[in-house]
């Protein structure tokens, strides 16, 4: 199975060498790595070009004149700039972040999983962050959530769900759409990916309001949004997330990005999980 991965890069010069190193030293190599500069102001572009000179299967796309890095839509726009250069005969498409270090067998294990399960549409390992000199699971999401920095799609699934929605909440919408379209989604606990920056670290001021918008995009509804915001407020130890998130949810509650049948599916799945946990 041929695999291409797109990596948007924004001001990651401090650790970009070790990140790319983890991609090029896989036990089974990627067929294409496309590095997309997402408006970096540090030496990220110089580092990317250095690696591309060493490896012909690495391609670098410099930032466009109007590139401004933001969470959500802009990240997906950067991804699609790279996606336009993916070879047409690939079987797997990856969207990865530039602040992760992959275990050496990451692609080998996932290729095997996709080969063994023809209905597997979306897969990943687990993200780990460093706390007190130890790497611990980043418990921001459920263990079955395929997190935004390490997503690998079967190309057919990617096309069937309409690709990635350029909006906040895209990295949940794609998983819901995959499940709705009867694709299997799986995470692998033994594939421990080092996440060098805690999720949301780069724009903590914005996270207070952005989460409400994301839940509105997915059609969570009032009660599910409130419960989800409360969980985030506890995780980040910022009670204001609940307040500001609710305000932005209410302001954007009509701006839903998925169809009514998908909304019904999402809500039923979420309530089922809540009752099972109880």
Domain edges within the chain? 3-195, 201-277
Average pLDDT over every residue of 207-235: 89
Q: 134, 112 in Cβ contact below 8 A?
A: no
* pLDDT tens-place string over residues 242-255: 999 999 999 999 99
For residue range 111-161, list pLDDT tens digits in order.
999 999 999 999 999 999 998 889 999 887 789 999 999 999 999 999 999
Tell me the average pLDDT across 12-33.
Answer: 96
Q: Cβ distance 2 to 69 under 8 Å?
A: no
pLDDT of 62-98, one tens digit each?
987 665 544 557 889 999 999 999 999 999 999 999 9
Instruction: State the fold for domain 3-195.
Output: Spore Coat Polysaccharide Biosynthesis Protein SpsA; Chain A (3.90.550)
Prediction pTM value: 0.90
Least reliable range by pLDDT among 47-56, 196-205, 229-238: 196-205
Whether 234 has a pLDDT exceeding 90, the answer reads no
* pLDDT reported for residue 174: 97
Tens of pLDDT, residue by residue over 29-44, are: 999 999 999 999 999 9
Question: How do residues 158-213 score in pLDDT, each as one tens digit?
Answer: 999 999 999 999 999 999 999 999 999 999 999 999 999 865 544 454 566 788 99
Tell me, what's the pLDDT at 202? 46
Residue 203 pLDDT: 43
Query: d(Cα 83, Cα 78) in Å, to the nearest integer?
Result: 9
């Amino acid at each position: 199975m041929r695999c291409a991965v797109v990596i948007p890069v924004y001001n990651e010069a401090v650790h970009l060498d070790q990140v790319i190193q983890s991609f090029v030293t896989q036990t089974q190599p990627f067929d294409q790595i496309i590095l997309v500069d997402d408006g970096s102001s540090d030496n990220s572009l110089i580092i990317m070009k250095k690696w591309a000179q060493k490896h012909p299967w690495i391609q670098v796309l410099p930032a466009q004149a109007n590139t401004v890095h933001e969470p959500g839509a802009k990240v997906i726009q950067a991804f699609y700039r790279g996606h336009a250069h993916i070879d047409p005969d690939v079987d797997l498409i990856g969207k990865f972040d530039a602040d992760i270090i992959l275990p050496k067998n990451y692609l080998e294990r996932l290729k095997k999983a996709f080969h063994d399960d023809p209905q597997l549409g979306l897969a990943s390992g687990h993200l780990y962050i460093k706390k007190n000199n130890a790497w611990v699971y980043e418990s921001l999401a459920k263990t079955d959530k395929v997190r935004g920095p390490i997503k690998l799609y079967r190309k057919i699934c990617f096309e069937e769900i309409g690709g990635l929605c350029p909006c906040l909440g895209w990295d949940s919408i794609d998983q819901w759409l995959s499940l709705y379209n009867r694709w299997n989604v799986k995470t692998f606990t033994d594939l421990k990916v080092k996440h060098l920056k805690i999720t949301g670290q780069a724009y903590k001021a914005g996270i207070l309001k952005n989460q409400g918008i994301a839940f509105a995009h997915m059609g969570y509804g009032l009660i599910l949004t409130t419960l989800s915001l409360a969980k985030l407020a506890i995780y980040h130890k910022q009670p204001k997330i609940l307040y500001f998130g609710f305000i932005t949810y209410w302001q954007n509650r009509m701006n839903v990005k998925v169809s009514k049948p998908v909304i019904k599916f999402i809500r039923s799945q979420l309530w089922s999980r809540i009752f099972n946990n109880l």
